[in-house]
């Protein structure tokens, strides 16, 4: 099972012949992709964006493709997933999880194209007509309540019915009294600006000690937030349930976990009310469907993390359509340069009322434009969220 069997009959996609990786630079971060080709003239795409190590991720993707994919049948998604995960023995951590996720996406894209159906038809079909999304990344600039309030109103005016932001600056472990006051004022200003009918989610970026996280529960309670996301590092996962028991609103998290085995402790400790697996980090469609099913047995909702490109947004929409306990999907698409959409032609757009409509094209309906990639090479940008000024997200 951990060796490609070239004697087994293949499906209509044929066998994998070669794999390419492509990197796209933006003012925010570099996006990474795989494109997988078969001997039937088909190609499938997947996203392998790593927040800071996309070049390393692309190198591992090329190596893993040589070891585990060439000659394989894309229809054998479960076996390919296992081969990519176990076949490298040490399993690759975050970089390996992203590579596996991107390849799993590409397999589904190939299958959809071979059968002439959208990917969501392969993963349980649809249990909703469209997917609701929330906006992130809208709050670059000075951390001033009036500035954030104006930006929040502008974003809601574009049709979004839900927003998320990190108001905490470069805080780590603790917040000074002045920093806590400023952060809470930012949340209050945004809530007042958008009114009571727009969902507001607050991001913690997994960096506060228990005492600070507990203080945030009290400080944020008046603003009716939809969740507080990853308030503590996951090295303190055993304390999440304690914090959750005190919280007047849901606690969410899970973007840092890459498969069901890493999620095991999160479920076992009842750490969160909402899991946030990323389709380009948590094992692709094959694995996220399993995570959603496990979450359902715990009475937990699924709100996929997606700080990646419009390709991952598209992939996430296909997955979300068939997840019965789906809540809402993250998107940064509104802050990206127009050429990003040219690079991933066919990515699903966000509608004027903050949703993505049900797709109709075979596979994901996305093709990568090599010319655009050539015009915008990687920037190797790094934002250290523990350094002063990162939170301004200035794209220069």
pLDDT, tens digit, 9 for 90 and up, residues 172-204: 899 999 999 999 999 999 999 999 999 999 999
Is 218 exposed, middle or buried (CB count within 10 Å of its CB: 0-12, 13-18, 19+)?
Answer: exposed
Domain boundary among 73, 95, 117: 117
Q: Which of 18, 205, 236, 298 is catalytic?
A: 205
Reading the block at residue 363, the tokens are: 């596979």
For the chain, the average pLDDT equals: 94
Are 31 and 6 contacting, i.e. CB atoms less than 8 angstroms apart?
no
- Let me know whether 155 and 28 are in one domain: no
Q: Is the pLDDT of residue 267 over 50?
A: yes
Q: Which of 68, 108, 256, 305 is catalytic?
A: 305
Q: Is the pLDDT of residue 101 over 80?
A: yes
Q: How many domains does the chain have?
A: 2
Mean pLDDT to the nearest integer, 84-99:
88
Is 260 contained in some domain? Answer: yes
Are 388 and 351 contacting, i.e. CB atoms less than 8 angstroms apart?
no
pLDDT tens for residues 148-162? Answer: 999 999 999 999 999
Mean pLDDT to the nearest integer, 237-257:
97
Which residue do the tokens 């994998």 mark? 16
Q: How far is the first Cα of the chain from the last one, in angstroms, to the nearest whole number? A: 48
Helix, strand, coil percentages for the chain (3-state, nearest 5): 40, 15, 40
- Let me know whether 169 and 28 are in one domain: no
Can you list the positions of beta strands (E) in the chain? 16-25, 30-38, 43-47, 130-135, 162-165, 199-203, 227-229, 251-253, 274-275, 301-302, 329-331, 344-345, 355-357, 367-368
- Let me know whether 49 and 153 are in one domain: no
50 is a catalytic site residue: no
- Let me know whether 300 and 336 are in one domain: yes
Segments forming the whole domain that contains residue 80: 16-117
305 is a catalytic site residue: yes
Is 3 contained in some domain? Answer: no
- Please list, in sequence order, all residues whose beta carbon lies within 8 angstroms of the beta carbon of residue 338, skipping any fewer than 6 positions away: none
């Amino acid at each position: 099972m951990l060796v490609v069997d070239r004697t087994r009959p293949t499906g209509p996609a044929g066998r994998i012949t070669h794999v390419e990786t492509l990197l796209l630079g933006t003012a925010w971060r570099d996006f990474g992709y795989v494109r997988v080709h078969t001997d039937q003239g088909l190609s499938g795409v997947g996203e392998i964006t790593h927040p800071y190590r996309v070049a390393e991720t692309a190198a591992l993707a090329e190596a893993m493709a040589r070891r585990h994919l060439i000659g394989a049948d894309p229809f054998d998604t479960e076996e390919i997933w296992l081969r990519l995960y176990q076949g490298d023995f040490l399993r690759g951590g975050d970089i390996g999880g992203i590579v596996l996720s991107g390849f799993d996406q590409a397999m589904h894209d190939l299958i959809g194209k071979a059968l002439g159906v959208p990917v969501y038809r392969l993963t349980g079909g649809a249990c909703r007509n469209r997917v609701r999304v929330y906006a992130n990344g809208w709050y670059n600039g000075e951390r001033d309540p009036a500035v954030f309030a104006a930006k929040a109103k502008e974003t809601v005016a574009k049709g979004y019915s839900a927003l998320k932001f990190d108001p905490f600056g470069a805080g780590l472990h603790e917040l000074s009294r002045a920093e806590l006051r400023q952060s809470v004022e930012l949340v209050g200003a945004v809530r007042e600006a958008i009114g009571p009918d727009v969902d507001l989610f607050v991001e913690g970026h997994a960096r506060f000690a228990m005492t600070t996280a507990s203080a945030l529960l009290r400080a944020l309670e008046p603003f009716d937030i939809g969740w507080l996301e990853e308030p503590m590092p996951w090295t303190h996962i055993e304390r999440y349930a304690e914090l959750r028991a005190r919280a007047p609103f849901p606690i969410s998290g899970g973007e840092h976990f890459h498969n069901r085995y890493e999620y095991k402790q999160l479920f076992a400790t009842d750490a969160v009310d909402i899991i946030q697996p990323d389709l380009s980090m948590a094992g692709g469609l094959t694995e996220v469907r399993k995570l959603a099913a496990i979450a359902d047995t715990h009475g937990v909702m699924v709100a996929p993390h997606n700080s990646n490109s419009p390709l991952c947004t598209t992939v996430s929409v296909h997955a979300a359509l068939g997840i019965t306990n789906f809540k809402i999907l993250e998107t940064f698409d509104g802050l990206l340069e127009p050429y990003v959409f040219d690079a991933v032609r066919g990515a699903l757009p966000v509608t004027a009322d903050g949703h993505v409509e049900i797709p109709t094209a075979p596979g994901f309906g996305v093709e990568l434009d090599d010319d655009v990639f050539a015009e915008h090479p990687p920037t190797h940008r790094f934002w250290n969220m523990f350094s002063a000024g990162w939170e301004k997200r200035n794209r220069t």
